Structure 1
Amino acid sequence: MDDETRPAAETSVGAAGVLYIVATPIGNLDDLSPRAEKVLAGVDVVAAEDTRHSGRLLQHLGLHKRLIALHDHNERDRAGALLAELESGRSVALISDAGTPLISDPGYVLVRAARDRGLTVTPIPGPCALVTALSAAGLPTDRFLFVGFLPAKRTGRRSALTELARESATLVFYESPHRILDAVDDMAEVLGESRELVLGRELTKAFETFYAGSVREVQSALAADPHGTKGEFVVMVRGVEPVADAEQAGALDVDRLIRLLLPELPVKKVAKLASELSGRPKNEMYQRALALKQGD
């Protein structure tokens, strides 16, 4: 077998100045690939988001490596030292706490700087929470938009959702357990209670759970599950159906509906009904109703 057909892990583990981007399990340790284990065994340094967490993984593998912490708060300061390691001929593996580095995890500054300096950056593929969740969600995957984490505060979160409300691709978010209920509540308000939603919780772990249905149904399922706010979540929302060139005509129909309802109902109720009938976000309908009411 020549070098052109030989797997990268066979030709470059331990090679001078290589930065490996190594995907690690998101829960089940059996998901670590043999190639990833071989690379971790061969490198000189492991740059880890949390050295205590990654130390346990290396201990499980029977490996003893020099660990350097690389996380959101120190990446710019630590990148220089890791680049120096690479330029001196030592190999470095970058790992995150779980999954593929740089996917809502640290590493961008280091990888960008390594490429700018002409150093070799080699990906070692493996688990990724968003791909794992999408594969089992039953939502369209021909087009999806990964947004990462939504803003922590309600105002910012609703603003972000409003900007995404008319997106036709499947939307994918990560969310923490202490914000999941608030996030789903905001999706009901901004995207509409009937929008299809799938949540993946504790993926690949013993208590892996999927909640699927309309936003309203998922709200109820989370509230009924005593474990519904435990573990990490991947949130997937079906995009809206693409609107043809007649979109403007559709907007005029919505305006007509709002104008008919305004004399009979409060603005908030008008917005709710217009949202349910048109499939458009409630916030958008509320702002449109206000504008039409003030313009009359």
Structure 2
Amino acid sequence: MEFIIRIVRFVTRGDGSGRTMLIRLIGLIVIFVLVSIILRTRPTPTFNQTDFLPTQNAFAIVGTLAFDETVSGSIGEAERDAWQFEGESGQFVNLRVRGDLDSTLELIPPDGDAAIAIDFASGGDYQAFLCAQFLRFTGTYTAVVSGYLGLPDRDTGDYTLSLEPAVFEDARPLGMGERASGQTDTCDGDFFTIEVEIGDPYEIVVTPEEGEVVFARLMPSRTASEPIAVSVNGTNADGRAVEIITGTETVNRTLLLNIRGIVDAPPVEYTVSLNRAAGE
């Protein structure tokens, strides 16, 4: 590259004899040839399947789906089945795929062509499951079932798709210095409301029964697309595995703590406590 720069500087100088100008012309030709070689030897971009979006493929509308109904279908090579249902703004729904293929489930909103939710294996055994999915608009939604990632030449087979309204238990209040217990017996888990104040550091500790697994996340509301924080693994004074969330708020507000277990696993009993963070 430095060699090319020197040639360019020499060629673009404004003085010199006819012989010098001829040399400069030859220099221009050399630059052109070198640039052509560099461009030709650049690697050609290749298609990476991990960058593939399922909704880039066409799908076929195969039927309609009502609440509390289960429909069935079959996915062939490169096929994507679409089922449509009527939803209302503010609803929460559960959509679950069961079958003998590694399934993918997409949810496309009314008048939309891009999925607002995609799931691959939340239902266990490589089955797609959208749990407590929030519907922001009123209209016709499209649930698209396909093999893994909607890619051609992947999984094929029979499946069922079910739709039901998500049923929530009322969120329970959890005050500073308090402890509560519960059981993860639904796909969306349990909810607790927490009052936090400016500059007040807090620590949330969730202790599942021995040998079991739970997850916790802190949210501004049930409809939030992203949590404020998610729990990390830790141990308590007795050496038990726990899930911990710590933080300090910059505003006074009410937060929602969500505790859930592994989908389709047996219910897990747990205790949860809220305290001011140690050392503060």
Greater Rg over alpha carbons, structure: 2
TM-score tier (shorter): under 0.3
With normalisation by structure 2, the TM-score equals 0.26
Larger fraction in strand: 2
With normalisation by structure 1, the TM-score equals 0.25
